[in-house]
Structure 1
Amino acid sequence: MDYRGPYIVAENVASLYNDEQKSVVNILDVGAGTGLAGLELRKFGFTNIDGLEPSKGMLQKAKEKGAYKNLICMPITKDPLDVPAGSYDAITVAGCFGQNHIKCDAIYEMIRLVKPGGYICIATRTENLENVEEYKNRFYPLCDDLEKSGKWKKIKEELCYYQNDREGIVFCFQIC
């Protein structure tokens, strides 16, 4: 399987920070799964990475990889996590906007968790945003509404090679 989502979010977040910043930036990898994005972030020089994942089994595999400083076994929803607002400089989300995964309204909690000036980087298959009921006619309007209301600013939206023959898309938003 040629799954590039973790690399895509790591590469994009890495492009937002210089080498000196990477050692102090706090990142939350939402939907950490088995830790693939955490490993990619480490390759780019990040060291303060936490993983958030609802599956205990997947989190155990992530723990074995040693990519994360802290692991949080919870789903992300619209409801606040037991984590202070502005705890992170960046959030990465690779492959979690798919069927039966993260709901659109979880974006509000992601924004709460990131400091003003920080970033949220999302990579997913384009077909998910077009065909999955949770996102179809909801994801793009929500992103636009959040920009219009001054919650975040889109700094990147780009099609990319994502997985096997699947087209992907990467978004980077800066929190206001």
Structure 2
Amino acid sequence: MVVHGRASPWTSQSKIPAEMEERDTSPEADTAAAGLADEKDCRESRWQVPEHTVKAYDEWADRYELDVNSSNYSGAISACKAIADYYPLSKRNDVKILDVGAGTGMIGSYLKKNYFKNIDALDPSRKMLDKLREKKIYGTIWNDYIGFYQTHIPDGYYDCAVTSGAFTDDHIPVSSVCELVRIVKSGGVICTVIREENLTNSLEYCKLEPTFQDLEKGGKIEKVSRRVFSGYWFRSKGVCYMHKVL
């Protein structure tokens, strides 16, 4: 298992590779370094890195799955089903997947039950990742944010990226979509699961579908499916998107 992190107050105490130790974190530097997409393809977000959210998850880690399971949360299962429906059983061993906002590894658990074996994780909460490691499902673990700057993940590194529950206030910005497009190879897919009401009630996530549409018009992604389902979180509905990277 390989663990990657950034030099920051929430990063693991393990030694950080030299190229990650120092980084200009000013907004100007992040904008210049991002290289995620043309300006017309990725809608602007002025979010700041949500350190308070990471602290909250660090404190929640020990009881997180108990609390989430008691809410009848079905986002992770819905994401896994969409990916399993897309990839035939004969190909699942070879699919390299990144679980974005992986938390304690709930999506990974479902993916493993469906015979996916090559799964990596990205999450900024070190204590949530400690719980994830206990499952012994994941390979490379990226202790990092997404959407605020370009990650150290190489272009076109993954066959599939999946996220469920991360597109909610004070988590990851809509600009994360463009980073996902960068790190998923041509022909790969991105699975995004979000609470349906966030698409209209959130000033940030009302930009999600327009961002998808911009990227579709720009020839960077193609919509595979959009499915609304019940029971995402308590009585809230969820939406599961599948997009193919072109």
Q: Aligning the two structures, in what range does the TM-score lie when normalised by the shorter sequence? A: over 0.9
Structure 1: unaligned runs, 5 residues or longer: none
Structure number with the higher strand fraction is: 1
Partner of 1:23: 93
Does 2:226 match 1:152?
A: no
Moved over 2 A (4+): none
Question: What does 1:69-88 align with in structure 2 at a 5 Å threshold?
Answer: 69-88=139-158
Partner of 1:132: 202
How much has 1:130 moved relative to structure 2?
1.2
CA distance in 1, matches of 2:200, 2:110: 27
TM-score of the superposition, structure 1-length normalised? 0.96
Query: Which of 173, 186, 206 is matched with 1:103 structurally?
Result: 173
Partner of 1:51: 121
**Percent identity at matched positions?**
37
CA shift digits 1:54-83 (9 cap, x unpaired): 100111111112221121100111522111
Q: In the alignment, is the contact (CA less than 8 A) between 1:78 and 1:107 conserved in 2? A: no
CA distance in 2, matches of 1:125, 1:81: 25
CA distance in 2, matches of 1:77, 1:168: 22
Structure 2: unaligned runs, 5 residues or longer: 1-70
Q: In the alignment, is the contact (CA less than 8 A) between 1:78 and 1:108 conserved in 2? A: no
Q: In the alignment, is the contact (CA less than 8 A) between 1:91 and 1:121 conserved in 2? A: yes
Which amino acid in structure 2 is aligned with residue 90 of structure 1?
A: C
Which amino acid in structure 1 is aligned with residue 223 of structure 2?
A: K
Query: Which of 67, 78, 83 is matched with 2:137 structurally?
Result: 67
Q: In the alignment, is the contact (CA less than 8 A) between 1:86 and 1:112 conserved in 2? A: yes
Does 2:37 match 1:37?
A: no
How much has 1:163 moved relative to structure 2?
2.0
Q: In the alignment, is the contact (CA less than 8 A) between 1:29 and 1:38 conserved in 2? A: yes
Q: Which entry has the higher C-alpha Rg, 1 or 2? A: 2
Which amino acid in structure 1 is aligned with residue 95 of structure 2?
A: V
Q: In the alignment, is the contact (CA less than 8 A) between 1:117 and 1:175 conserved in 2? A: yes
Structure number with the higher helix fraction is: 2
Matched residue of 2:86: which SS?
A: coil
Q: CA RMSD in A?
A: 0.9
CA shift digits 1:78-132 (9 cap, x unpaired): 5221111111000000111101111011111100100101000011110112111
Partner of 2:74: 4
